[in-house]
Amino acid sequence: MNRIPIYLVVGFLGSGKTTLLKRLVHAVENRRFIFVINEFSAVDVDAGQIEREGAVALAVAGGSIFCRCLITEFVEVMRKIAAGIAVGGGHERPDGVVIEASGMADPRTINRLLEESGLDREYRVAGITAVVDPGALVKLLMVLPNIKGQIQCADLIVFNKIDLHTPAMIDAVTEKVHAINPSARMLHCEQCEIDSALILENPGDEIRKLDADYNKCRDPHFEREELHFNNRPPIQELRENFDQGTEGLYRVKGCVECAEGWFLIDWSEGGLTCTSTTPRSSSCLTLIWNPDYEPPLLLHLAKKSLAPTVDRNS
């Protein structure tokens, strides 16, 4: 029996992984593919977006699939996928599984995880793609060791958002990444617009089998907090809150019920987007930041319009 190929997509928060996955959904629309979305937040955001593109998407939320606190849940999901997906009146094994790892994850443990769980009898790692935001990478490499691990294990590195940076800066970042992983293929693009075959047709013969300790359930390099709204603020007021200061922030993401309806709120160093979306079970934002800072945005939101905070980096 042929093992099911796994295509792992990694990259820091806001680099463009979800955009890439949306493109992959349409590239495999005539094939039986499953998308497993590793949400760092306890609230499902990205899996819902992938499902609305027409894919079968499963969320593993609340941390990294490569930390011990989520391994059991992740393994159970992968075993169910290997048992077959519903097709007509029966079940069929999928043609492949695309896994989007949490932006904070160090994926060098993927092969150890498969071997220790016995999933290596069902799956093989066919490719690891790292999505990089050149504008944020150099700083992230200095403060977050997991980012280097993402680059080290990748066989394809996608430099996204190149339209936002100078050619000299892109060249400097490319050189730094090449020094970390000289054997990876490297592509430069905007909006993750690349040939999907470069990811999905990879035979996986040259995947670098690195290893590392499992991710820490409480990582000292970042803090996380989920903030739940008690009211329905106007969307413009919510936008203006971001002017209070984002120093030290890595990422803000979630779905908020505003006076004008529901919005997907997405902030990274590239800026803020607020997109109309469908109603959710919780009006909530997840913030992730450098623990050496207390972001002004966090303090302002908590004081002005949010319930007591919950689930800090748990």
Q: Does residue 112 surpass a pLDDT of 80?
A: yes
Cα–Cα distance, 80 to 275 (Å, whole number): 33
For range 51-76, the mean pLDDT: 81
Backbone angle region of 30, left / alpha / beta, with phi > 0 → left and psi within -120 to 50 → alpha? alpha
Q: Does residue 20 surpass a pLDDT of 60?
A: yes
Query: Given this model, what pLDDT does residue 1 score?
Result: 66
Residue 47's Cβ-count burial label (10 Å; 0-12, 13-18, 19+) is: buried
Across the chain, what does the average pLDDT equal?
Answer: 83
How does pLDDT run across 239-278, given as a tens digit for each residue?
Answer: 888 887 788 788 888 899 999 999 999 888 778 989 998 8
Query: Given this model, what pLDDT does residue 53 score?
Result: 83
Residue located via tokens 């760092």: 40
How does pLDDT run across 183-241, given as a tens digit for each residue?
Answer: 999 999 999 999 988 888 765 554 556 666 656 656 677 788 888 888 888 999 888 88
Higher confidence at residue 238 or residue 45? 238
Q: Which tokens hold the place of 41?
A: 């937040």
Q: pLDDT over 70 for what percent of the chain?
A: 86
> What strand order describes the sheet that includes 223-228?
223-228, 284-289, 249-258, 261-268, 271-276
What is the β-pairing status of strands 123-132 and 96-100? Answer: unpaired
State whether residue 84 is helix, strand or coil.
coil
Higher confidence at residue 7 or residue 38? 7
Those residues with Cβ within 8 angstroms of residue 228's Cβ, 6 or more apart along the chain or in another chain:
282, 283, 284, 306, 307, 310
